Chain A
Amino acid sequence: MDVILDNFDLFWQGWLRTIQICFFALLGAVPLGILLAAARVSPVPSLRTLAGGWVTVLMSCPLTVVLFFMAFGLPEIGIKGSYFWFGTIGLALYSASFVCEALRSGINAVPTGQAEAARSIGLSFMPSLGLVILPQALRSSLPPLTNAIIYLIKNSAIVGAFGVGHDLFAVADTLTAARGLAALPVLAGVIAGYLLLVLPIGRLLSLIETKVAILR
């Protein structure tokens, strides 16, 4: 316990840094995921193929490889940046695929009859999408979307392990390796830091889920 109290400032800074990574990664992943999902369900075959390929590639590639490719590969062609941004953007690109698939599974969960009924009362493309299909699709997407967000938060530790610096994971590394403090309390503190992010967000989202769930 003393270890954590003595280094509370470091933990606090690391926690904020982790939140920063997650926030910016989400800011990129969600809009990109929406675009990818839109492309994957569009009537344009080439768009569907392209987005499908992109998602498949990023989902079958380890995040670590994506991060290494960005941080060590891109500078070779003159794209320079800080590890923080490489890591965060890499995490965003990687997570966007999961966001896309969460949205798509929500769309697929809407029965075709709902769309047919919407068309039958004379709603054209945009209104039937906006008033009937998407409201239902979004609600069904919430559980997988929750998983994608929690997955992103946990994956931010990989971004940290890879050397962004000053985030929660880096705190663990600094205190145990460099300063030689006992690993157990330090790591327990770091784990608590992640749980403090993951568990409340999971709870909150599952609360919303039950609120908006559709009875069929």
Chain B
Amino acid sequence: MSSGTLLYDALGPRAGRRVRWFGVVTGAVTLGVLFLVGEKLATEGQLSADKWGPLIDPANPRFSTLWSFLAGGMLNTLIVAVLAIVCAMAFGTAMALLRVTSQPWYRWFVVSVIELLRGIPVVLLIFFLARVLPEIGIEFSTLTFLVMGLALYNGVVIAEIIRGGLQALPRGQKEAAQSLGLSSWHTLRLVLLPQAFRMMLPALIGQLIVVVKETSLGFILSYEELLRRGQIAIQSLHNPLQMFFTIAVIYIVINLGLTLLTRRLERGARKKAPGTPADDKTPAAPLPSPAALPEVRV
């Protein structure tokens, strides 16, 4: 609304000069640091075609083998991520419903399970499943253990997201549905849940980003997702710096794509949200208060 921001006034000429000066210094320092890093990399022989070739030079004999190997890893990563998020959604919705519909006498149990699963480091949860289940005779593939761990952990997070969405719905929604004679289960399933999902869609996609990152925990089970395959390739290519850099870039690109998607959905959701007033900057002129009126004769 104002030309200043929350933190500082609109810049005057002196402040403007200071800001430009700071900008120049920042730029110079950044360039300097980049230069030093580049030089260090060069003197340590880290910019050589030997190290980078397999990753960036299509003419390199190992290029296509390496990339089809890494692409397989990427595919494995995506398989885990998709399976995990789908299972997590199902489990999360179930837990959310269980929690909001639970009777007091067993609600504490549902809440404890959710709190417990939220408090355990996810890497430990995966490890726990992979070590303890075989001990009691339940054998699964590493993929299954990984998906189970991710789904359990992210499921309770999603359960809390959905519960938040349900609580944020206007009271009137529930009352309107019930006044139509819908049973409480139908009210939940037909009226409340769909709205909560729509409202929470950005948060749910945000959780997908978390899941994509957590697939890399597959390394403790030696599941061959992207990171693990990169590790394997390093053993023959001897280029850890370049390899991990490239893998980091791949993760960042995937997750930035998802972030952009979230932003777009958020904007869409805000536009369509029920009950939000049109973004008119100035409130309509209110009528003069009755007490003030009688004095004026026109």
- Which residues of A are at the interface with B, using a C-beta cutoff of 8 A? 41-47, 50, 56-57, 59-66, 68-69, 72-74, 76-78, 107-108, 110, 112, 114-116, 119, 125, 129, 133, 154-158, 161, 169, 172-173, 176, 182-184, 187, 190-191, 194-195, 198-199, 202
Contacts and interface: CB of A to CB of B under 8 A. Distances in A.
Contacts of B119: 154, 194-195, 198-199, 202
Given A154-B121, A154-B122, A65 B227 contact: yes
B6 A112 contact: yes
Interface of B: 1-2, 4-9, 11, 15, 19, 22-23, 26-27, 30, 40-41, 44, 46, 115-116, 119-124, 127-128, 131-132, 135-136, 209, 213-217, 219-220, 227, 231, 234, 240-241, 244-245, 247-248, 251-252, 254-256, 259
A191 B26 contact: no
A191 B126 CA distance: 12
B213 A169 contact: no
Contacts of B127: 161, 169, 172-173, 187
Which among A57, A61, A114, A176 has the highest number of chain B CB atoms within 10 Å? A61
Contacts of A114: 6
Given A61-B252, A69-B244, A155-B121, A41 B7 contact: yes
Nearest to A41: B7
Nearest to A69: B244
Given A77-B40, A194-B119, 20 more contacts: A42-B22, A43-B15, A44-B22, A47-B22, A47-B23, A47-B26, A60-B256, A61-B255, A62-B216, A66-B248, A68-B227, A69-B244, A73-B244, A74-B241, A77-B44, A157-B121, A172-B124, A176-B131, A187-B132, A195-B116
